[in-house]
A and B are shown apart, each in its own frame.
Chain A
């Protein structure tokens, strides 16, 4: 069901995993929106006015009001459009788990990937695989395998949306920069989750193709 809610604009940058999360949430919920791709090397007046504190993407502008920070934006989307594809669990404790693991992903895994990229692949972080194993453990605890591959079972939930961009970024980094992710043997359910993400119709639109990400990564390497 398409929700035609007036004035929904996304300030995006296609390779940004944070931008991808918001795009995915909007698509899962069928929210029609204007997608304004941003030039981060020459930030637009709209971006600077919409996110004056951090000056970053993504920003969601709804009825003229800007919301920044991807996790906060996805929370907002879930609250304003609760009917279709609910993302956050009903149970308070489960919600806390989704938020905890989102924060863990950002503090540990996202941070490791960032350092890997910025060091041109030199910074090999042993912790990265350990952290993936912890995430695998979380999935075993929180995701009902019988229901489906996601933390949300058969359908994507908040945590799945937060992690989804890794389904394309990790393979891109692996193939271009030699990132060594956790193997299928080490993290079977995570592998299944990422596989399911890349097959998901909304994710296919929200996430860039791995080949495009590889080109983007390669181009940045050459420039350094």
Chain B
């Protein structure tokens, strides 16, 4: 039986890359890891993702797959046996996809604006970021009441899509100039954070929040410097 060749092109602070690492590690899939320098992208990256020249890219048996949610959907299809990420039930699947999409559409979008915007726009980005986390807190209470994850007892597609934001909380707060509400206001969210952080597969590849915060501040300084 020929062995699968699995390679991930990534950049260590990327939330999107982390989604892929989480998916692979939860499923126990071994892979080669290649750290990319975004200011000096490898020929391999440029060829694997000519449209965006961005990480993450998963190269499976020589074929590249791009865009993190597309990648984790692919991973779940190809390695279904171990730790299924998408529920079998079509409605539950749709709910998981919705919250993964919410992570991009609302949470990442607000976080991105926190990093790039100024003045009123920056303030609004902070409000939007907190709103998005509040929605996630509510959703956790509705979708899986009493359970730690969107997936109930184990992480599912939505958990994997959203979990990488956790190590970025410190960084976002620094560039946003605010402190996030605590567990009294968002009990479900913080229970989820604790549950995610105690999963071995997650601990394996999560970068240190301090390092991420340093990186976030560097990005922010660049924006401020250019203003």
Task: Give, as a whole number of angstroms, the nearest-CB distance from A208 to chain B.
Answer: 26
Task: Give, as a whole number of angstroms, the nearest-CB distance from A186 to chain B.
Answer: 18
B77 & A92 in contact (Cβ 8 Å cutoff): yes
Residue of B nearest to A103 (CB): B67
B70 & A100 in contact (Cβ 8 Å cutoff): yes
Residue of B nearest to A98 (CB): B70
Task: Give, as a whole number of angstroms, the nearest-CB distance from B97 to chain A.
Answer: 5
Question: Is B193 part of the contact surface with A, judged by Cβ < 8 Å?
Answer: no
Q: Classify the secondary structure of A's interface with B.
A: helix
Name the contact of A96 in the complex, choosing from B70, B91, B94, B97 (C-beta under 8 A).
B70
Residue of A nearest to B49 (CB): A100
Name the contact of A80 in the complex, choosing from B70, B73, B90 (C-beta under 8 A).
B90
Q: Which residues from chain B sit less than 8 Å from chain A, CB to CB?
A: 51, 60, 63, 65-67, 69-71, 73-74, 77-78, 90-91, 93-94, 97-98, 101-102, 135
Residue of A nearest to B90 (CB): A79
Bound complex: CA A76 to CA B92 (Å): 10
Task: Give, as a whole number of angstroms, the nearest-CB distance from B133 to chain A.
Answer: 13
Residue of B nearest to A60 (CB): B94
- A92-B78, A96-B73, A99-B73 as given contacts; A75 in contact with B94, CB under 8 Å: yes
- Considering only residues 164-199 of chain A, those with a C-beta below 8 Å from chain B are none
Which of A3-11, A24-32, A64-72 is the contact stretch?
A: A64-72
Residue of A nearest to B97 (CB): A72
- Considering only residues 91-134 of chain A, those with a C-beta below 8 Å from chain B are 92-93, 95-96, 99-100, 103-104, 134
Q: Which residues of B contact A80 (CB under 8 A)?
A: 90
Identify 11 residue pairs between A and B in the complex whose beta-carbon atoms are under 8 Å apart, listed by A's number.
A53-B135, A69-B98, A72-B94, A72-B97, A72-B98, A92-B78, A93-B60, A93-B65, A93-B74, A99-B70, A100-B70
- A92-B77, A96-B74, A100-B67 as given contacts; A76 in contact with B91, CB under 8 Å: yes
B67 & A75 in contact (Cβ 8 Å cutoff): no
Task: Give, as a whole number of angstroms, the nearest-CB distance from B100 to chain A.
Answer: 9
Known: A93-B74, A95-B73. 9 other contacts (CB 8 A): A73-B94, A75-B94, A76-B90, A80-B90, A99-B67, A99-B69, A100-B65, A100-B66, A100-B67
Q: Which residues of B contact A95 (CB under 8 A)?
A: 73-74, 77
Residue of A nearest to B102 (CB): A53
Q: Which residues of B contact A62 (CB under 8 A)?
A: 91
Bound complex: CA A65 to CA B142 (Å): 14
Bound complex: CA A80 to CA B91 (Å): 9
Residue of B nearest to A62 (CB): B91
- A69-B98, A69-B101, A72-B101 as given contacts; A92 in contact with B74, CB under 8 Å: yes
Bound complex: CA A79 to CA B91 (Å): 9
- A76-B90, A79-B90 as given contacts; A103 in contact with B70, CB under 8 Å: yes
Bound complex: CA A192 to CA B69 (Å): 30
- A92-B77, A104-B51 as given contacts; A67 in contact with B91, CB under 8 Å: yes
Task: Give, as a whole number of angstroms, the nearest-CB distance from A114 to chain B.
Answer: 14
Interface centre among B67, B71, B77, B102 (most CB of A within 10 A): B67
Bound complex: CA A95 to CA B65 (Å): 11
Q: Which residues of A contact B60 (CB under 8 A)?
A: 93
A96 & B65 in contact (Cβ 8 Å cutoff): yes
Bound complex: CA A218 to CA B135 (Å): 37
Bound complex: CA A62 to CA B95 (Å): 13
